[in-house]
Structure 1
């Protein structure tokens, strides 16, 4: 009889462990889903930030161009503006080249 009781206690403990395992697996799945949702939200926010930074930079360039005008006293600012515009154009060209490479590849 003692052996049957011992086996029964082991089976009960095994069933308890299996229930706990299922519970932990369920929690793990739920946490993974929450993590994925949060990562997607972070990605969206990063895209929004990148777009806003782009707009801010363009607004700065536009306001710098308007403030400079054709006055020779602002030659250094004018050159900085031209350099910024060249850099921006080069950045766009690199991005276009990357897109073309992806389309051709």
Structure 2
């Protein structure tokens, strides 16, 4: 008696699931791009960290600090963009201590 075994192929179930996921992600990105065109100024989530006029608000710096502290409390090293680290250091106080601790731990992304 011959035993038949199921062997998924690239065209099988795995391929169909991957194709559907890619299609859904593609649709989501397309809808986001269309919505961004309707907004004045474009997509608000896109931030170029390497532009010359990089400005962080106080709330953004506070959020970066809280996130870094939260990650650090779990025993992990937070990784912050260099500009964020510099801005935290300039604020002084607890933010400066945090920036120095992250820098010493090697959590800087250029």
The answer, yes or no, to whether TM exceeds 0.5 is no
TM-score for both structures, normalised by structure 2:
0.35
Using CA pairs below 8 Å that are at least 6 residues apart, which structure has the higher relative contact order? 2
TM-score for both structures, normalised by structure 1:
0.36
Higher-Rg structure is 1
The structure whose residues are more often helix, as a share, is 1
